Amino acid sequence: MASGNHIFQALQTKAIHAGEKPDLATRASSPSIVMSSSFVTDAETPFSAENLQDQTTFFYTREGNPTVQQLEQKLAALEDAEACVAFSSGMAAISALMFHMLKPGDHMVMSDVAYVGAAELMKGLIPSLNIQVTRVNTTDLEAVQAAILPHTKLVHIETPCNPIVRLSDIQAIAEITHAAGAKLSVDSTFATPVATQPIKLGADFVIHSLSKYLCGHGDAIGGAVLGASDEMLAMRHLLIHLGGALSPFNAWLIMRGITTLPIRMKAHEDNALKVARFLEAQPQVKQVTYPGLATHPQHELAKRQMSNFSGMIAFQTKNPSAVAQAFSEHLQIVHYAVSLGHQRSLIYYISTQEMLETSFTFNQLQADNYRSFAGDGVFRLSVGLEDVEDICKDLERSITKA
Ligand SMILES: *Cc1c(COP(=O)(O)O)cnc(C)c1O
């Protein structure tokens, strides 16, 4: 951790200053991008990653880079984590954590609804390595408890989860997980450290897709895992061998994005609450799920666990295929596109049937719960930073063409 970080108490100050140091050679106030794959070394420098210790000197950018390190230190400060390892994408971060935590013969418990890439990894490659995966509705604490086995090593949750914005109780699940001698990882991409700091609530690992709110501008992909220093040293060895290193240029873009994260999240939340209320009043809209609405089935948990309700809304409409078609053809401000957390509003339709064929495996109770949020399909709306009246008018103009 950079010396002086104890001075940066508030999140807004950490977002701007943590990890950044004026350049020693030029005294530039802004961080410089070190676009170098190699670093000039002395003759005694060991060659193997096995000898990698503290990152005080640099050797090769896959093992560590000054710009990437600044981003890692900023993220660690924001999450109150001992250490952070950045990756080339959120999925590179998730897959590396799975390889770190799970060996053949181990068992993991995972939320039955999660980001599709993670759901598909845990459906295909991970079980093929003789690692057992149990999917549970992690809003149901008894189901989480019942899923734990003697060889459970990891519980992996996402809150709020992609795409239905359902929450899981981090503190309660951390207690169940730790009582079983396992570790808890929380994908906190939808929440961001502005809303929730999972490590303070007992999580062992926090995962972020930096491609979303942290970058915030839809122009760079990245990922991160945060946790205890010894675990993160092991993760760095894995990064060196699996190879998903973040480009220093992307690290710089993401770091620049993070400096405005607290004020952006406030604006995302303000806009999302207004858009959620607007959607609730539309005759074509059947159901709106947003943690900041009293109608969210877990609004009490949201108030306890999230100090910002973020900008993600899930909603159902009548005739969803026709509405999806109308949105893709007629929206002029909101982009009909995947991803989320950008300054631009983004919307995408996720069909329940398609998710069941490709990504999710439910028992009847789990399917019923998913359908209570998503019906036959759900629109995932990432409310951006445009004028909120303009966003609402754009949605209204397009939905009436369905
Ligand atoms: C997008 C996303 C990911 C994957 O991140 P990439 O950077 O696209 O690899 C993981 N988890 C959640 C919750 C996401 O929304």
pLDDT per residue as tens digits for the range 345-373: 999 999 999 999 999 999 999 999 999 99
**What is the average pLDDT score of the chain?**
95
Residue 62 has pLDDT above 80, yes or no: yes
* Nearest ligand 1 atom, CA 92: 9
| CA 23 to centroid of ligand 1, rounded, Å | 32
Residue 3 has pLDDT above 60, yes or no: no
The candidate with the shortest Cα–Cα distance to 191, out of 79, 300, 271, 344, is: 79
Q: Return the residue whose CA atom lies nearest to atom 6 of ligand 1.
A: 90
CA distance 184 to 191: 17
* Nearest ligand 1 atom, CA 339: 1
pLDDT at site 94: 98
Of 56 and 59, more confident:
59
Q: What digits encode the pLDDT tens for the residues 211-255? A: 999 999 999 999 999 999 999 999 999 999 999 999 999 999 999
| CA 295 to centroid of ligand 1, rounded, Å | 27
Question: Mutate which of 122, 208, 211, 382 to test ligand 1's pocket (most atoms within 8 Å of Cβ)?
Answer: 211
* Nearest ligand 1 atom, CA 222: 7
In the structure, which protein residues have their CB atom closer than 6 angstroms to any atom of ligand 1?
Answer: 89-91, 115, 117, 158, 162, 187, 189-190, 209, 211-212, 221, 223
| CA 29 to centroid of ligand 1, rounded, Å | 32
Q: What digits encode the pLDDT tens for the residues 82-126? A: 999 999 999 999 999 999 999 999 999 999 999 999 999 999 999
Burial of residue 75 (CB within 10 Å: 0-12, 13-18, 19+) is: buried
Apex 337 CA angle, 296 and 310, nearest 5: 35
Question: Mutate which of 186, 209, 338, 381 to test ligand 1's pocket (most atoms within 8 Å of Cβ)?
Answer: 209
What are the structure tokens assigned to 129, written together? 């390595």
Distances (CA, A) of 382 to 105, 159, 165, 287, 391: 39, 16, 11, 16, 11
Looking at the chain, the whole-number percentage of residues with pLDDT higher than 70 is 97
Domains delineated in the chain: 11-258 (3.40.640.10), 261-399 (3.90.1150.10)
* Nearest ligand 1 atom, CA 93: 9
Contacts of 27 (CB under 8 A, 6+ apart): none
Q: Specify the length of the chain in residues.
A: 402
**Does the pTM of the predicted model rise above 0.95?**
yes
Residue 168 has pLDDT above 80, yes or no: yes
pLDDT at site 36: 97
CA distance 66 to 49: 17
Pairing of strands 205-209, 377-382: unpaired
